[in-house]
Amino acid sequence: MSLIAYFIVVIMIAMKRMPIYIIFIPLLFFAAQDSSAITVQELFRGAASIRTSFSLYKVDLELASLRQTKAGIEAKEELDRLNAEFAYVGALAEYRKSNLAFFNEALDTVFNAALAELDVHIADVRAENANEDARLAQTRYHSGLLSEEGLKEFRLALGTVATDQDFAVWTFNDAAEAFRSALGRDWDSTLVPQMPDFNPTASIELWLEKDTILRRAKLSEKIAFLKSAKMATNAPAFDRRLLQAELAKAKVTVPTTVNDARRAFEGITRKLKNQKALLQLRTEENELRLTLTRDATRRYEAGLIALGEKNTQRISGLGAQKNLLSAQRTYLKTIIEYLVQTDADPMEF
């Protein structure tokens, strides 16, 4: 539902042209998501089709690979080949970094818009509460039950809520415009991607093999060893000590880097497991809050509870949806990080 349509519905409800349960539509945001949401892969392909610079990342890596191949063919000694490989691994690290930034930016664009839209709904509910409080305060004031100063307090609170509401609308419009620029289409809540059924399969051996920092550390050790081996016996003592120090440092760096890579592997696999469990908890929390909000709406319509009590449940429900969105974004970003570091394609997994 667009923001303009939402306000039209609110006005029509106030005019008693539509039943009050219509205002509950934003809370169905996640209830219908599974049947209409796009996949993560579709999201990334859409973003890549708009941001043409994404294709250049692959071109840069292919050029680096060609330079490595050329250098390997023209190499007169093993040291030249190792230097070429070292340069390529550096280019691979930059390629992964650029890819990860692109995918994270695409996810942020979607989730920022979704969260901002929910903030508008929360601001609307709070404004409804403030208007009701101000109306009741006005009645009490005219009945002599509230002082003029007390009435001013309610009016000031109403003004504060209105300011917050305006800012929430502006933030949402800005996020929606960023989404339009990034994906070339208008924002719609169904564009929050589905959560993939993901299970990490890479072994620790594959992770170590793919780790660019470890690869460069091992290459540095080989390069330092070959430089030392080919140094002339009559080379200056300073130069000899310099190479010996370089080789010693490289030898120490490799096991340290191996340990770092192992910890990174264990860390990201644990993060995936924990975030998946948290996502399930947030999903259950959202379903519970959705049920409670529906129940509160029915009780309000039956005259069993006040507007404020009903709206308290609505705000809690919207907050649960925000928590679920945040958990989804965090989990997806960790999945993408895992895929990028193992050279898997986030557009194809």
DSSP string for residues in 314-335? HHHHHHHHHHHHHHHHHHHHHH
Across 26-40, 123-137, 274-288, least confident range: 26-40
The per-residue pLDDT of the chain, averaged, comes to 88
Quote the pLDDT of residue 36. 57
163 in a structural domain: yes
Cβ 243 vs Cβ 231: under 8 Å: yes
Burial class (CB in 10 A: 0-12, 13-18, 19+), 315: middle
Quote the pLDDT of residue 5. 41
- Mean pLDDT over 242-249 rounds to 83
Whole-structure pTM value: 0.84
Residue 180 CA to residue 128 CA, distance in Å, equals: 30
Does the pLDDT value for residue 307 go beyond 50?
yes
How many structural domains is the chain composed of? 1
Q: Residue 171 half-sphere exposure, CB side, CA atoms within 13 Å?
A: 18
Cβ 180 vs Cβ 187: under 8 Å: yes
55 in a structural domain: yes
Quote the pLDDT of residue 344. 94
- Mean pLDDT over 186-215 rounds to 94
Residue 9 CA to residue 18 CA, distance in Å, equals: 8
Pairwise pLDDT comparison (172 vs 54), residue with the higher score = 172
47 in a structural domain: yes
349 in a structural domain: no
- Mean pLDDT over 57-73 rounds to 93
pLDDT band at 242 (very low <50, low <70, confident <90, very high): confident
Report which of 128, 151, 155 is spatially closest to residue 140, judged by C-alpha positions.
Answer: 151
State the CATH number of the domain containing residue 202: 1.20.1600.10
348 in a structural domain: no
Task: Give the sign of the dihedral formed by CA 186, CA 46, CA 113, CA 178.
Answer: negative
* Residue listed under structure tokens 């969105």: 325
* Residue listed under structure tokens 């664009």: 109
- Mean pLDDT over 296-311 rounds to 94
Quote the pLDDT of residue 28. 40
Does the pLDDT value for residue 286 go beyond 90?
yes
Question: How do residues 19-31 score in pLDDT, each as one tens digit?
Answer: 333 333 343 444 4
Cβ 316 vs Cβ 286: under 8 Å: no
346 in a structural domain: no
Residue 51 CA to residue 62 CA, distance in Å, equals: 19
Does the pLDDT value for residue 51 go beyond 90?
no
The whole domain housing 255 covers: 3-341
Does the pLDDT value for residue 155 go beyond 60?
yes
Calculate what percentage of the chain has a pLDDT beyond 70: 89
pLDDT band at 273 (very low <50, low <70, confident <90, very high): very high
Q: In this structure, what are the phi and psi dihedrals at residue 258, rounded to the nearest 5 degrees? A: -60, -45
Q: Which of 6-15, 57-66, 137-146, 239-248 has the highest mean pLDDT?
A: 57-66
**Which residues lie below 8 Å from residue 170, measured CB to CB, with a gap of 6+?**
none
pLDDT band at 300 (very low <50, low <70, confident <90, very high): very high
169 in a structural domain: yes
Quote the pLDDT of residue 23. 38
pLDDT band at 109 (very low <50, low <70, confident <90, very high): very high
How far from 281 is each of 141, 200, 261, 274, 334, CA to CA, in Å? 46, 20, 30, 11, 18
Does the pLDDT value for residue 32 go beyond 70?
no
